[in-house]
Amino acid sequence: MPTYSEKVMDHFMKPRNVGEIENPDGMGEVGNPVCGDMMTFYIKVKDNRLADIKFKTFGCGAAIAVSSMVSEMAQGKTLEEAMAITNDSVAAELGGLPKNKMHCSNLGADALHNAIEDYKSKKDSLKKETSDAKRG
Amino acid sequence: MPTYSEKVMDHFMKPRNVGEIENPDGMGEVGNPVCGDMMTFYIKVKDNRLADIKFKTFGCGAAIAVSSMVSEMAQGKTLEEAMAITNDSVAAELGGLPKNKMHCSNLGADALHNAIEDYKSKKDSLKKETSDAKRG
Amino acid sequence: MAATNKVYLDNGATTRVLPEVLEAMLPYFGEVYGNPSSLHDWGEEAKDAMEESRGKVAELLNANAEEIVFTSTGTESNNLAVKGIASAYKDKGKHIVISAIEHFSVMHSARTLSKEGFTVTTVPVDKDGLVDPDAIAGAIQKDTVLVSIMHANGEIGTIQPLKEIAAVTKKAGVLLHTDAVASAGNIPTDVKDLGVDALSLASNQFYGPKGVAALWVRKGVRFLPLFDGGIQEGGRRAGTDNVPGIVGMGKAAEIAKKDMSLNGERLIPLRDRLINGLTAKIERTILTGHPTRRLPGHASFCVEFIEGEAMLMMLNMHGVAASSGSACTSKALKASHVLLALGIDHALAQGSLVFTIGLENTIEDIDHVLEVFPAVVDRLRQMSPLYDKYLKARQGVK
Amino acid sequence: MAATNKVYLDNGATTRVLPEVLEAMLPYFGEVYGNPSSLHDWGEEAKDAMEESRGKVAELLNANAEEIVFTSTGTESNNLAVKGIASAYKDKGKHIVISAIEHFSVMHSARTLSKEGFTVTTVPVDKDGLVDPDAIAGAIQKDTVLVSIMHANGEIGTIQPLKEIAAVTKKAGVLLHTDAVASAGNIPTDVKDLGVDALSLASNQFYGPKGVAALWVRKGVRFLPLFDGGIQEGGRRAGTDNVPGIVGMGKAAEIAKKDMSLNGERLIPLRDRLINGLTAKIERTILTGHPTRRLPGHASFCVEFIEGEAMLMMLNMHGVAASSGSACTSKALKASHVLLALGIDHALAQGSLVFTIGLENTIEDIDHVLEVFPAVVDRLRQMSPLYDKYLKARQGVK
Ligand SMILES: Cc1ncc(COP(=O)(O)O)c(C=O)c1O
Ligand SMILES: Cc1ncc(COP(=O)(O)O)c(C=O)c1O
C-alpha cells in the first residue's frame, strides 16, 4: 500500500459521516474524475455552527480518508473556525499523506469551504430577496 | 579457462620439443610481445626431412600448445610436407581453438615455415658460396 | 492488517519463485561463486552454468543460445532492443512504429529516440486492444527501421496478431521487435513461428527470480549496447553476469516450456469463471481487453463509479492482491494510457481493476474474490457521488 | 583437473556470498515475493525490505537512504553516473575529466559522451597509479561539468587521494563522481568525508550477491536515467526491483560496515607477505600500483618474460585462482590500459598477474602460492625465448 498512516487507514476503512443531507444548507463539490478524485460535501448550519456534515467521495483511499477527517474536524465548529481548516492541517491530523497524494486527493477542506460559501451566498441572496421584497 | 580442448590442455601442460638446438640448420621467429605471442622454432634437417625440431614460446596457453603441436606434426616430415602444414590444420589437430585465439596465438606453422625458409636460404647461399669458390 | 485468506492474484506484477528454481540457484551464491569472465575453475564452472541456462532460455523461444543476451529487467531488454536496434540502423532511416498500448519501457524509449531525431508513428488499437496489421503496413515508410509491437499486454491481457504483423514487416523489409515480457513463459513464444526479429522476456513473469531478464535478437540483426564497459555477453551487455539469477531464469524457462499447456488448461477456466462471475454479479462493470484473445490468467475490468486504489485497499483487507491502472495508483497520477487507447473515458478508467491468475491459484481463490468483491464495490459505491448521480438519473428515467 | 588445494585469490573479480547474506535473501524468493511497486501486503512487505536495505547501504556510505539508487552492476552505476550527470548538465558545459586508469565502464562512457559533442580530458597517473590533484585542477575548464576519478583501481590496487581531488572540484564548482566498485565495503567510503557528489558500488565486491549494485548521488545533483520506463527508484531507474538481490546487498553492507577494520587487520599482513615473498623469490618481478596506498587485499605484479594467461592456467592446475591484465587474457587482445598508463611496456604488461585476497583467505593460502608459484614461473621461463635472450645477454655482460 502507498504507506498510509494508521489514521488514514482507519478513516478509509471506517469513514465518518458518509452520506447526503436532504435539503442541505450548503453544498460544495471539488475535483473531477479526470484528475482522479471528486468530493461532495453537504452541511447543515445552526447558530453559525456546523450542525451536520456529510460527504460523498469518488477517489482513492487518501481522498476518502481526507473527506472523513475533514467532516470530523469541522463537526460543531463555527463557520469561521471551519474556514480556518486547511488541506495541510487535515493531512497533518491524518499523520501525513504520501507526497503524490498531497496535491490531488487532499481537497477535503476545499470542498467543505465550498459548501460554506454556498451556504453564505444562499443566505445572502435570501437576505437580498427579503430586503428586495421589503423594498419592493 | 577460455574453454580449451583437452588436447590443447595436454599440449600446454606437457609441451613436446621445448628447447633450443645448438647450431640449428634453420631458425624461424614470429610475433612480438606487443601483440601477445612470440615463437622461435629451431630445426635440424637430414635427407630433406625434419630430423629434429625444438621451440621456445612466449605467450598464452594456446600459443604454447600450438607450438608443441606443430613440432609434433612436423617431426620426421619432408620439408615439402612440413610446408603444407597450415595454422588451420594445427588448430584442427588440437580439436579447435577459441575464436579470439585463432588470429594471434595460432602462428606455429608460420614459425616453422620461417625456420624451413631460413634453412633453404642458408643452403642456397652455401651452394652459391661453394660454386663461387669453385668458379673463383 | 493481515488477512487469513491469502489470495495472490497479481501474477502479472511478479510471480512467486518456484522451489525448484530457487533450489537450482542456491549453489551459485556460496559454492560456485566465480565470475564467469575469470580464467580459472571457479569462473569456468560459473560460465558453464550460465551457458547451460542460455540454452534453456533459447529453447523456450526455439532460438539459438548465442542469440540470447541476459539483462536485469524487462525494461532493460526493451530499452536495449528499441534504442539499440534503431540506433544501429539510423543510417538506413530514422522512423519507427509502435502501438498505442506499449509498455512505458517501449513507449518512452521511442520518445527518447524522437528527441534524437527519429520520428515515431503510434498505431492505434481497437476497443479490444488489437493492433490491425494493415495499420502497421500503412504506418511503414521508406525510412522505417523498426516496428515494436508487444506480444501481450499486461494491463488488459490482449494478445496481438504478431504473425500477421510479422508478415507485414517481413514484406516491407523492416525489423520487428516484440515485448513479450507479459507473455513469455505463459503462452508459446516460438520466435520462428512468430516471425519476429527480436523479443524481450523477463524471468519474474514465469516463476523465475527478479533481477534477470533477456533479450533475444536474431543473428545478423545489429544493435548498440546500452552500457559501455567490458565484454560480457559478447560485448552486448557489459557488467558482471548475475549467475544465480541467470541459472534461476534458465530453470524457470525449462519448467515453463515443459508445463506450457497447463497455463491454458488450468488458467483459462479460472479466468473465465472470474470474468463471468464478476460481470454477472456487479452491474456497470466491463471486461477490458479482448474477450478470448487474451492471456490465460488475465481478467481485467473497469468498475464504474469507483476508483481502483480504493478497491485494491479493500481487497487487500480481504487478503486479495490485485492491481489497477487508475490514475491514483500511478505515481504520475495519470490514468493508464492503455485504457484510454481503448476509448475508455477517464472516469471509467479510474475504476480499473486487474486480476492476474497464476498456476498456484485455485478455484477457491476465485470463489473468494467472487464472494468478497461485490461487497467491496457496494461499499465504495455507497460513498460515491457519481453512483449517486447515476441512481438518481436512473430513477428520473423510470 | 580439480586440485585438492583450493585457493581463491580472485576476490577482486567477485567475492563469495556470505552465508548470512544468502540467509537474509532466502525469504524474498518464494515467501515475500511481491513486487514493491504493488499496492497490497505482498508488495508492501517487499517494499519495506527494500527500503530497509537502502538504509543499510546508505549507512555504509554515511549517506541518506533516498540518495541511493539500486542498479544491476557496477557498470550500470558508472554508466548512469557519468552519462546521466553529464547529460543533465550539458546546458552548463560539455567537458568532463577522467583519469587514464578508469574502468572501461567509465572510460567508454566518456567516449560515448565524446561522440555526443562532449570533450574529455584524460588526466595521466604516475608510475604508482596516482592521480595528481593539481593535474585535475589544471584539467578543469570553464565548461567542465563532471570529474570522474575512481576510488581504488581493481587491477593495481592503488587508492586515489580523493579528498584532495574533491577539494579541487569543490573549489572549481564542478561535480565529482567516484567509481568505488573495487573499494566500497573493503575500505571506508564515507561520502561526507571523501567529499564526492556521486559514488558507484557493487554488492558482489563485498560478499553480497551478483546482479545488484547501487549509485549514490548527493541530493540536489541531477542526472538523467539510462532506462525509460516506469517510476521505480523514484523514476531514476525503471524496471522491477531485484528485491532478493537488494536485501542481500543491504545485509552485506551492514556486515561490511561492522567488520570494516578486519580488512585492514587481516588482509594487509597477508598481502604484504605475498608481495614480499614473491618479489624476493622471483627475480625480475615488479609490484604494480602503489606500495602502500593500495587496497588491503590487493597484490599485483608483472613477471618478466612470460605471459599472464599461461600463469593463470598453471596456477589453476595448482588450485589457485588469480587474474591478469595481459593482452591474451582480454577478449580484445589488448594489454591493460591501466598497466600501460603506469609506463609499463607491452612486453612486461604481458606478465601481469593479480592476486586479490579476501576475508576467507588464510596464511596457508598465501604460503601455498609462495610454494607453487616460483616453479610455475620457472617452467614458463624455460619455454620463453625472451628469457633465453635475457640469460644470454646477462652471460655476455659477465
Ligand atoms: C573499479 C571497477 N569499476 C567497475 C567495475 C565493473 O563492475 P561490474 O562488473 O559490477 O559491472 C569493476 C569490476 O570489477 C571495477 O573493478
Ligand atoms: C508488457 C510488459 N513490458 C515490460 C514490462 C517491464 O518489465 P520489468 O518490470 O521487468 O522491467 C512489463 C512489466 O510488467 C510488462 O508487462
D137-161 tens-digit pLDDT: 999 999 999 999 999 999 999 999 9
Long-range contacts of B85-89, Cβ-Cβ distance < 8 Å, separation of 24 or more: B85/B109, B85/B112
Catalytic residue among A9, A18, A60, A104: A104
Q: Which of C109, C181, C300 gets mutated to test ligand 2 (max ligand atoms within 8 A of its CB)?
A: C181
Q: Above 80 in pLDDT, residue D331?
A: no
Instruction: Identify the pLDDT of residue B101.
Output: 85
Provide mean pLDDT across the span D86-100. 98
Report the interhelical angle of D74-88 vs D104-115 (nearest 10°): 30
Give the model's pLDDT for residue C103: 97
Residue C168 has pLDDT above 70, yes or no: yes
Would the CB of D99 count as within 6 Å of ligand 1? no
Catalytic residue among D262, D280, D328, D375: D328
Q: What is the DSSP letter of B69?
A: H
Using CB atoms within 10 Å of the CB of residue C301, give its burial: 0 to 12 exposed, 13 to 18 middle, 19+ buried: buried
Long-range contacts from C109-114, C-beta under 8 angstroms, 24+ separation: C109/C78, C109/C79, C109/C82, C109/C83, C109/D228, C109/D229, C110/C82, C110/C148, C111/D228, C112/C83, C112/D228, C113/C82, C113/C83, C113/C86, C113/C87
Q: If you average pLDDT over residues D47-71, what whole number do you get? A: 98
**pLDDT tens, residue by residue, C81-113:** 999 999 999 999 999 999 999 999 999 999 999
CB atoms A35 and C333 under 8 Å:
yes
pLDDT interval class at D70 (50, 70, 90): very high
Q: Do B39 and D385 touch (CB under 8 A)?
A: yes
pLDDT at C2: 42
pLDDT confidence of residue B123:
87
Is B60 marked active-site?
no
Q: Report the residue among C76, C240, C241, C242 best suited for mutation to probe ligand 1: largest number of ligand atoms under 8 A from its CB.
A: C240
Residues C324, C308 contacting (CB under 8 angstroms) = yes
- pTM equals 0.95
Only one residue has cell 477535503, namely: A108
Cell numbers for D83, please give them: 552519462
In a domain, B110, yes or no: yes
Give the C-alpha separation, C197 to C88, whole Å: 14
Task: Give the residue whose CA is nearest to atom 2 of ligand 1.
Answer: D181
Q: With 0-12 CB in 10 A as exposed, 13-18 as middle and 19+ as buried, what is C266?
A: buried
Q: How far is CA D178 from CA D99, D129, D162, D210, D226, in A?
A: 11, 16, 8, 20, 18
Q: Could you tell me the sign of the dihedral formed by the alpha carbons of C344, C349, C353, C358, in that order?
A: positive
Place of cell 496535491: A103
**Cβ atoms C247, C24 nearer than 8 A:** yes
Round the CA-based radius of gyration of chain C to a whole number and report it: 22
Kindly give the parts of chain A with pLDDT less than 70: 1-2, 132-136
CA of C59 to the centre of ligand 2 (A): 21
- Which residues on neighbouring strands pair with residue A26, listed in sequence order? A43
Q: Report CB contact under 8 Å: D228, C2.
A: no
Look at D224 and B136; give whichever has higher pLDDT: D224
Q: What is the pLDDT of residue C181?
A: 98
Residues forming beta bridges with residue C120, ordered by sequence position: C96
Q: Are B26 and B116 in contact (CB under 8 A)?
A: yes
Q: What is the pLDDT of residue D2?
A: 42
**Ligand 1 pocket, residue D263 CB under 6 Å:** no
Q: Is the reported ipTM for this assembly greater than 0.90?
A: yes
Is C74 close to ligand 2, i.e. is its CB under 6 Å away? yes
Mean confidence (pLDDT) of chain B? 90
Q: Which pairs count as long-range contacts for D216-220, CB under 8 Å and 24+ apart, including other chains?
A: D216/D57, D216/D58, D216/D61, D216/D63, D216/D67, D216/D68, D216/D69, D216/D191, D217/D67, D217/D69, D217/D81, D217/D85, D218/D63, D218/D67, D218/D191, D219/D64, D219/D66, D219/D67
Torsion C223-C226-C229-C233 (CA) sign: negative
C104 C-alpha to ligand 2 centroid (Å): 8
Residue B35 reports pLDDT greater than 80? no
Domain that holds residue A69: 6-135
Whether D47 is in the pocket of ligand 1, judged by its Cβ within 6 Å, is no
* pLDDT computed for residue D1 by the predictor: 39
Confidence of residue B1 (pLDDT cuts 50, 70, 90): low
Q: How far is C47 from chain B (nearest CA, A)?
A: 9
In a domain, A1, yes or no: no
> How far away, in angstroms, is C138 Cα from ligand 2 center?
28
| Element (DSSP H or E) covering residue B73 | helix B61-74
CB C108 within 8 A of CB D228: yes
Q: Is D384 in the pocket of ligand 1 (CB under 6 A)?
A: no
Q: What is the 3-state secondary structure (H, E, C) of A25-64?
A: CEEEEEECCCCCCEEEEEEEEECCEEEEEEEEEECCHHHH
**Each residue's pLDDT tens digit, D16-25:** 999 999 999 9
Residue with cell 437576505: A127
- Domains of chain C listed by start with CATH number: 7-15+261-395 (3.90.1150.10), 19-256 (3.40.640.10)
CA of C246 to the centre of ligand 1 (A): 19
Q: Does the distance separating the beta carbons of C333 and A36 come in below 8 Å?
A: yes
Please determine, for residue C73, whether its predicted confidence score (pLDDT) is greater than 80.
Answer: yes
Query: Is there an atom of ligand 1 within 6 Å of C239 CB?
Result: yes
D15 lines ligand 1 (CB under 6 A): no
Residue type, D358: G
Nearest Cα neighbor of D94 from D145, D48, D158, D59 is D145
Q: What percent of chain C has pLDDT over 70?
A: 98
pLDDT value, residue C3: 44
* pLDDT confidence tier of residue B135, bands split at 50, 70 and 90: low
pLDDT in tens, D255-300: 999 999 999 999 999 999 999 999 999 999 999 999 999 999 999 9
Tell me the CB-side half-sphere exposure of residue D238, using CA atoms within 13 A: 22
User: Do D211 and C73 count as a contact with CB atoms less than 8 A apart?
Assistant: no
Which candidate from D1, D333, D386 shows the least CB-CB separation from B58? D386
Could you report the per-residue pLDDT of D369-393, keeping only the tens digit for each? 999 999 999 999 999 999 999 999 9
C313, C333, C382 member nearest A18 (Cβ)? C382
Q: Which ligand is nearest to the CA of C73?
A: 2
Task: Provide the number of structural domains found in chain B.
Answer: 1
Interface membership of A2 toward D (CB under 8 Å):
yes
Q: Which of residues 157-176 of C touch D (CB under 8 A)?
A: none
Does the pLDDT value for residue B17 go beyond 70?
yes
pLDDT at A34: 74
Residue among A13, A20, A32, A35 flagged as catalytic: A35
Instruction: Specify if B68 maps to a domain.
Output: yes
Are D95 and D141 in contact by the 8 Å Cβ rule? The answer is: yes
Using a CB-CB cut-off of 8 Å, the residues of chain D touching A3 are 44, 47
Residues C118 and C219 sit within 8 Å (Cβ to Cβ): no
Q: How far apart (Å, rounded) are the C-alpha atoms in residues D83 and D392?
A: 52
- Give the Cα-Cα-Cα angle D41, C76, C250 (nearest 5 degrees): 75
Question: What is the per-residue DSSP string for D68-88?
Answer: EEEES-HHHHHHHHHHHHHHH
Nearest to C309 by CA among C277, C336, C283, C282: C336
Nearest CB partner across the interface for D386, out of B1, B18, B38? B38
DSSP D189: -
Q: How far apart are CA D122 and CA D306, in angstroms?
A: 31
Question: Has residue C371 got a pLDDT over 60?
Answer: yes
Would you tell me how many other CB atoms lie within 10 Å of the CB of residue D27?
15
Q: What's the C37 CA to ligand 1 centre distance in angstroms?
A: 12
CB neighbour list of residue B95: distance below 8 Å, 6 or more residues apart: B5, B6, B7, B8
Q: What is residue C220's predicted lDDT score, i.e. its pLDDT? A: 97
Active site (annotated) includes residue B35: yes
CATH of the domain at A93: 3.90.1010.10
Strands (E), chain B: 26-31, 38-46, 49-58
- Of chain C, the percentage scoring pLDDT greater than 90 comes to 94
The whole-number pLDDT of residue C4 equals 56
- Cβ <8 Å between B60 and D329: yes
Convert the pLDDT of each residue in A45-77 to its tens digit: 999 999 999 999 999 999 999 999 999 999 999
Instruction: Give the model's confidence band at C328: pLDDT under 50 very low, under 70 low, under 90 confident, else very high.
Output: confident
- What does the pLDDT look like over D155-208, one tens digit per residue? 999 999 999 999 999 999 999 999 999 999 999 999 999 999 999 999 999 999
Residue C177 in this model has a pLDDT that exceeds 60: yes
B106 within some domain: yes
Phi-psi region of D204 (alpha: psi -120 to 50; beta: other; left: phi over 0): alpha
- Predicted confidence band of residue C298 (pLDDT cuts 50, 70, 90): very high
Q: Is residue B1 part of a domain?
A: no
Joined grid coordinates for residue B101: 585465439
Whether D337 has a pLDDT exceeding 70, the answer reads yes
Domain-embedded: residue B29 = yes
pLDDT grade, residue B127 (50/70/90)? confident
